[in-house]
Homo-oligomer: A and B are copies of this chain.
Amino acid sequence: MDFYAKTGKLALGSRLRRLGQKFLEDGVKIFQLYEVDLDPKWFPVFYCLSQEETLSITEIALKIGQSHASVSQMVKEMKKRDVVTMQKSKSDGRVNKVSLSEKGKAISLKLETQLIDVKSATEELLNESHHSLWKAIEDMEFLLSKENFFKRVLKKRKERESKLVEIIDYDPKYKAVFRDLNHEWITKYFQLELADNQTLDHPETKIIQPGGYICFASYKGEIVGTCALIKMDNGTYELAKMAVSEKARGKNIGWLIGQHIIEKAKGLGAKKVYLESNTILEPAINLYYKLGFKRVVGPPSPYERANIQMELEF
């Protein structure tokens, strides 16, 4: 199969399914060999019933990990072939109690010798292989239960894209972008306040000249995020005006800007970084925690929207 050689591990899913299919196809022939009058696809249902006497449709479905609809269909066919019997439950008029019929029980005895051979063939196969497929499957199921494949791809995408993000210093030509990026999120959740207009319209005189700092995140040549440090007193800087464009979410930009701005604060000789925010901005608050900020109660803020204050001490 040329395809697997070329796509390699990309096609892990279909390769697994294909391998499983191979086993199941042989299953059909094996049932014929032992002259067991069962449709191989019934096997899981049949096996459960041979172990537990009486089960409802839903119970079987849960046990074998298929949909109740599928079990319902199979049981219908099995009944037509007199392999099982069905009876409405007296205690609960909804449930349909399924058991093996006499014929089914007879088949189950025959099936036992078949299972002995299938089991030892499987075990031999697993022993012959150098790398244990059985344990590898267990590993994989465990890993996927911790974090499914989709999330893993998401994570990789973030990793890759964050490598394309560059952090650059303030330049007068970005003045408008600085305003727009902040305007975007403030007006989405709150209203522009007087203090906003002053800093957003005059970043150079209000932030940079008093000893502050502004940086930008650029992704594929486009400015998609920004953040500022405003000098306060006693070696404290305020982290403010952090903004990431909606369309650039999922690229770890907040984290990258945040880290950069903290390093910058250290470089400026800061002893701590302070910030104000609002609990409605959940992802932002989580980011601040991840960056090491702790919640504090500080002096009242000039901003109406501020309902949480945080600090990072070096």
Chain A residues in the interface with B (C-beta under 8 A): 1-3, 6-24, 26-27, 29-30, 33, 44, 47-48, 51, 62-65, 113, 115-126, 128-141, 143-144, 148-150, 152-157, 159-160
Contacts and interface: CB of A to CB of B under 8 A. Distances in A.
A159 to B, nearest CB: 8
Contacts of A47: 3, 6-7
A113 B16 CA distance: 24
Q: How many copies of the polypeptide does the oligomer hold?
A: 2
Contacts of A11: 44
Contacts of A6: 47, 51
Contact of A131 (B113, B120, B125, B136): B136
5 contacts: A9-B122, A12-B126, A16-B23, A18-B65, A116-B160
A23 B12 contact: yes
A150 B118 CA distance: 9
Given A3-B63, A21-B17, A24-B13, A133 B140 contact: yes
Contacts of A139: 129-131, 133
Given A125-B149, A129-B143, A156-B117, A137 B16 contact: yes
* Cβ-closest 5 pairs across A and B: A13-B23, A16-B20, A17-B20, A129-B139, A133-B136
Contact of A118 (B10, B122, B134): B10
A29 B150 contact: yes
B134 A12 contact: yes
A251 to B, nearest CB: 12
A138 B22 CA distance: 14
A39 to B, nearest CB: 14
Contacts of A135: 130-131, 136
A126 B9 contact: yes
Given A1-B65, A156-B120, A44 B136 contact: no
B2 A141 contact: no
A48 B47 CA distance: 42
Contacts of A64: 1, 3
Contact of A121 (B2, B29, B152): B152
Nearest to A28: B150
Contact of A140 (B10, B19, B21, B48): B19
Contact of A153 (B2, B118, B141, B154): B118
A138 B48 CA distance: 32
Given A121-B155, A122-B12, A136-B131, A149 B116 contact: no
